[in-house]
Amino acid sequence: MNSASGLSPSASGRRPVTGDSSARSVIVDARDVCRVFPMPAGPVTAVRDVTLQIRSGDHIAVRGPSGCGKSTLLHMLGCVETQTSGTLLFDGQDVSRLSDARRSLLRLRQIGFVFQRFFLLPMLTARENVELPMSEAGLAKDVRQQRVKELLEYVGLAARADHRPSQLSGGEMQRVAIARALANGPRLLLADEPTGELDEATGAQIATLLDRVNQGGTALVIVTHDAALADRAGRLLTMRDGRIESERVR
């Protein structure tokens, strides 16, 4: 397998980040962010007064009971949800002031998402699924093909490049999804219950792969109920009732 790449960890040319956290660049700077959902029975506050900084190379796990606001926080960090109050800066830009198109572009180039249910497109092969974000980003075909090859080798699925999701196992689908998330070399990779649909052994393989992505320099935020997966993180945030109840730094 390749090491982290320029697209993702290794292909971006970024190097594994170690040492003093203050020396690393801040990717996300969230200050007192809240997210309130208007509901027929009254507003529900999913996330309240969360202040969080994510630096390049960070490995963060977010745990907490169901409904505590983990996924909503992840979506705000990933710029798919905007905060009701507070400030969220991505690379110094106030996300709430960006248009939908600018936020899409930001996600396309800077953020990768890995979902519990993979959400691979069933009519496309593994190769095509990984190529899709690059194509959207306007990369040349030869560059795309080279990067797809590297990424599939990186996740150990070079031999399954022409297989459709229906021909892959759950673990393989998640590895393709990780390759897809790394397609445009994101600075931040967000994973929402990435092992939620997998058995323990396969989950461990995915966890190892995510570790490797993080070691390549990509900041990683994982929302999980899986204690083993969470324990691998350098920072473990525990949420309750929309707040960060505790933070453990390893």
Partner 1 sequence: MTALGFAWRSLVRQPARAALGILGVAAVGALLFDMLMLSRGLIVSMQDLLDRGGWDVRVSAGDLPGSGLRVAHALETAEAISTLPSVQAALVIRSASVEIDRASGVPLRASFQGVATRSTNPAGSRLRAPWTILRGRDAEASDEIVIDQHIASEFKLEPGGVLTIRASCVGDLEALPATQLRVVGVAEFPFQTTESTTGATLDALKMACGGNVGHDADLILVTSKGDADGTAAAIRAQHPDVRAATNNEVVGRLQQTGFTYFRQISSVLTTVTVSFAVLLITVLLTVSVNQRLGEIAALRALGFSRLRVVKDVLSESALIVGIGGLLSLPLGLLLASGLDRILKGMPGIPVALHFFVFETAALGVHVALLVATAVIAALYPMRIVSRLPIAATLRDEVIG
Angle at CA 150, nearest 5°, toward 190 and 90?
30
For residues 180 and 232, which CB has a smaller minimum distance to partner 1 in the complex?
A: 180
**Nearest approach, Cβ of 250 to partner 1 (angstroms)?**
28
Token pair for residue 198? 């997998």
Residue labelled with tokens 């007192």: 32
For residues 89 and 108, which CB has a smaller minimum distance to partner 1 in the complex?
A: 108
Angle between helix 170-181 and helix 141-154 axes, rounded to 10 deg = 130
Provide the binding-site residues for partner 1, judged by CB under 8 A.
71-72, 75, 78, 80-81, 100-101, 104-109, 111-113, 115-117, 119, 121-124, 128, 131-133, 135-137, 180-181, 184, 192-193, 196
Contact 226, 203 (CB under 8 A): yes
**Nearest approach, Cβ of 205 to partner 1 (angstroms)?**
21
* Cα separation, 63 vs 240, whole angstroms: 9
**Nearest approach, Cβ of 140 to partner 1 (angstroms)?**
14
For residues 150 and 193, which CB has a smaller minimum distance to partner 1 in the complex?
A: 193
The closest of 197, 250, 238, 228 to 62, measured between CA atoms, is 238
Strand order in the sheet with 93-94: 44-55, 26-37, 85-90, 93-94
**Nearest approach, Cβ of 244 to partner 1 (angstroms)?**
19
For residues 17 and 95, which CB has a smaller minimum distance to partner 1 in the complex?
A: 95
Read off the amino acid at residue 17.
V
For residues 22 and 66, which CB has a smaller minimum distance to partner 1 in the complex?
A: 66
Contact 95, 102 (CB under 8 A): no
**Nearest approach, Cβ of 80 to partner 1 (angstroms)?**
4
For residues 21 and 145, which CB has a smaller minimum distance to partner 1 in the complex?
A: 145
Q: State whether the Cα torsion 234-240-244-248 is positive or negative.
A: negative
